[in-house]
């Protein structure tokens, strides 16, 4: 199944001339869509791209980019909550800036409204039992 991932690539000055896109397309069958680019000769380059391919190829492609000395920053798509691990304490609700995470005041179970979530990731480290993670692939 094809998936997409949005990534921010930071090229160090010595690496701006590397044919990264060519290899992603040819070796990993990844569709490479440039959303924003800022590359000048002999300066650091910045590239925001959307990559589409199989999850396996995307992982390999990202590893390849990293192996070329390019810094990869992933844009997380949303948070995911492990319903089995969650103990419904509510520690995440106090630091969630948009009230996407809240307690049902009847059942006192944690509720998550993905529409309100801005993926700030504050909850990921605030969760005492590690039940919240970010989802990278869309």
Partner 1 sequence: MAKTFEEINAKIRQGQAVVVTAEEMVELSAEQGVKKAAKMVDVVTTGTFGPMCSSGAFINFGHSEPPIRMSEIYLNDVPASGGIAAVDTYIGATELSRGQGMAYGGAHVIQDLIEGKSVRLEARSVGTDCYPRKKIDTWVSKDDLNQAYLFNPRNAYQNYPAAANTTGQTIYTYMGRLLPECANVNYSTSGELSPLLKDPTLRTIGMGTRIFLGGTAGYVSWEGTQYKTVKEELPNGDVYHAGRTLAVAGNLKDMNSDYIRAAVFEGYGVTMYVGLGIPIPVLDEDLAAELGMSNEHLYTYISDYSAPGHPGLKRVSYAELRSGRVELNGKQVPAAALSSLSKAREIAGALKAWIGSGKFLLQEPIDRFPEEQAFKPLTEKEAR
Interaction site with partner 1 (CB under 8 A): 87-95, 102-103, 105, 107-109, 125-126, 128-130
- Alpha carbons 53 and 1: distance in angstroms, whole number: 8
91 vs 119, which CB is nearer to partner 1?
A: 91
Smallest separation (angstroms) from partner 1 to the CB of 79: 16
- Alpha carbons 4 and 58: distance in angstroms, whole number: 8
Smallest separation (angstroms) from partner 1 to the CB of 132: 12
∠ Cα 27 32 36 (to 5°): 145
12 vs 130, which CB is nearer to partner 1?
A: 130
- Alpha carbons 109 and 89: distance in angstroms, whole number: 8
Smallest separation (angstroms) from partner 1 to the CB of 90: 4
80 vs 126, which CB is nearer to partner 1?
A: 126
Closest to 93 (Cα-Cα) out of 58, 119, 127: 127
- Alpha carbons 89 and 9: distance in angstroms, whole number: 37
Smallest separation (angstroms) from partner 1 to the CB of 133: 14
25 vs 124, which CB is nearer to partner 1?
A: 124
Closest to 35 (Cα-Cα) out of 19, 53, 51, 21: 51
114 vs 130, which CB is nearer to partner 1?
A: 130
Smallest separation (angstroms) from partner 1 to the CB of 62: 24
């Amino acid at each position: 199944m094809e998936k997409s991932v949005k990534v921010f690539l930071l090229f160090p000055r010595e690496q701006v001339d590397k044919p990264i896109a060519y290899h992603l397309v040819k070796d990993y069958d990844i569709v490479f869509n440039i959303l924003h680019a800022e590359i000048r000769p002999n300066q650091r380059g910045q590239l925001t791209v959307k990559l589409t391919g199989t999850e396996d190829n995307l992982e390999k492609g990202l590893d390849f980019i990293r192996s070329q000395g390019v810094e990869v920053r992933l844009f997380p798509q949303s948070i995911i909550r492990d319903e089995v691990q969650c103990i419904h304490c509510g520690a995440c609700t106090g630091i969630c800036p948009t009230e996407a995470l809240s307690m049902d005041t009847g059942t006192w179970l944690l509720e998550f409204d993905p529409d309100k979530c801005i993926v700030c990731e504050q909850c990921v480290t605030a969760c005492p039992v590690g039940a919240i993670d970010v989802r990278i692939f869309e």
